[in-house]
Amino acid sequence: MALASSPTLRRSARIGLAILVGLAGAWASLAIWGTSVRQMGPFEVRLQTSLGRGETDIALPPLGRLTADTHLAPLRIEATLLDVRVAELTRLLDGDLGRLVDTLEAQAVHDLSVQALTVLAAACLLALGLGLLAFRRAPRTIAVSVLAAFLAVGGAEALTLATFRADAFRSPTFSGSLRLAARVIPPVRTAEQIDAFREQLTRVVDGAVQAYTKIQTNPVGGAGEIRVLHISDLHLSPLGFDFARQIAKGFDVDFVIDTGDTTSFGTASEDFVLSDIRAFDQPYLWVRGNHDSIAFQRALDALPNTTVLDGTATWRQGLRVYGLGDPVPPGARGELSDAAFAERVRAAGPRILSDLERLPPVDIVAVHDDRMAEAVAGRVPLVVSGHFHETGARVIDGTLFLRIGTTGGSALTTFEPSEHVPLSAEVLYFEPGTPPRLIAYDVIEQSPTTGTLTVKRHLVEEEFGSLTPSPAASPTGATASGSPTAGSPTPAPVG
């Protein structure tokens, strides 16, 4: 009996192993080919299928996510909006909206079908390859592996198609900003994660700011010092706006400079953030980023606490601030190579130089992308900017270029805890005088996942020496440790 059962046990074990090999091929195919980026009308969407609960997740950054239990199969479908071609969307919205919706629905069905077939074919091929490696000259066993992969992926896809309920989105789960929930689903939904973090952010920032401003190992300025909050690249983030207002209040700043990319797609529907800017108690100076539209700029200019700088200068607390909007309009970034984008941005240099020549001495030049202002190095003491989502400092011909990261916490992924990109801002300290002098700046960062707040003080003379702007034929300069030097490559733009 034992002898008779031994071949049976071996055959069963071999079949079981073949099934496992096939399932490994199925898993690998989903991991490798289960993600693709598709163009759906004016939208760029990332489609992702993976093993998991039978639900569909639609991510609409930065508003949040809609999740619904749409099917029974153990496949998770995720669609994330990555970009919007604003000009094309505007043109389509001027026409038949129903036709646009029908087109998008048909495109989504087509793209999901293509992805499903791709994953199924890849699963079978991977199972075949793994089977050949594992079983070599056992074609029947290899066939079992291929069949297992086919049934695992094809069966899950067929069950998804058979049981999919689009009407499940009538009662979805929403995660994101509670304040924006009503724009996505009825206002009965909650957003526990984000609003809990908002409460934590307020508590941590308030406590840290009070401690930091009362106990300073390196006090700066003194009576009458001028404090300026520099923020950038909020990208609609409600957490970023809360963070910036807490810093402005806690550090008792005199005014705020926002160097753009306040929105993400340059559409009229993003004007809801005007209420966030109106909520600041301090004067708010703003320059346009490459994600901000001219229409949004006009709406901002109408706010009582906001001054838009676009080839103009303003006087605040003894400081003259000049600003110019980014020359690249929303949606154009994807049509330009990095080299063409950089050339377009640097072409603003002569305009800034011409404007400065007709103005009284300017203390701060504010631009979204600091490459716009490279032409005025040696002619102004300070240039502030954002754009690259990376904090840094460099000196060119005696001009200090300060770049802040992203006050919105990396914008489109600020709600993703795996990103670990901090909300960032900086407070600039000026000593009053003729002219005023920047003596220090604090880089303030808040983790969107842990709530940890850090404040790092930079004393200008200690890190850069005595800075005297002086035009030179070729760039020369010094920089703080870890920051790019004047002659080093500029990081590639993020958008």
At 7-17, the pLDDT tens digits run: 788 788 888 88
CA–CA distance, 49 with 267 (Å, rounded to integer): 29
pLDDT band at residue 417 under the 50/70/90 scheme: very low
Q: How is domain 192-464 classified at the CATH fold level?
A: Purple Acid Phosphatase; chain A, domain 2 (3.60.21)
CA–CA distance, 311 with 351 (Å, rounded to integer): 8
Torsion angle defined by CA atoms of residues 95, 96, 102 and 104, in that order, rounded to the nearest 10 degrees: 20
For the stretch 449-463, pLDDT in tens is 777 778 888 999 999
CA–CA distance, 357 with 311 (Å, rounded to integer): 12
**DSSP strand E in 397-461: where?**
399-403, 423-431, 437-446, 453-459
Report residue 354 as tokens: 């011409």
Domain-wise residue ranges, the chain: 13-184, 192-464
Confidence (pLDDT) at 273: 92
Nearest to 367 by CA among 251, 244, 229, 230: 230
CA–CA distance, 231 with 284 (Å, rounded to integer): 11
CA 243 distance to own-chain centroid: 16
**DSSP strand E in 318-407: where?**
319-323, 364-366, 382-385, 392-396, 399-403
3-state SS assignment for residue 193 = helix
- pTM equals 0.65
CA 126 distance to own-chain centroid: 35
Report residue 293 as tokens: 């539209």
Query: What whole-number percentage of the chain has pLDDT above 70?
Result: 75
Report residue 339 as tokens: 């080299």
Range with lowest mean pLDDT among 114-128, 285-299, 357-371: 114-128
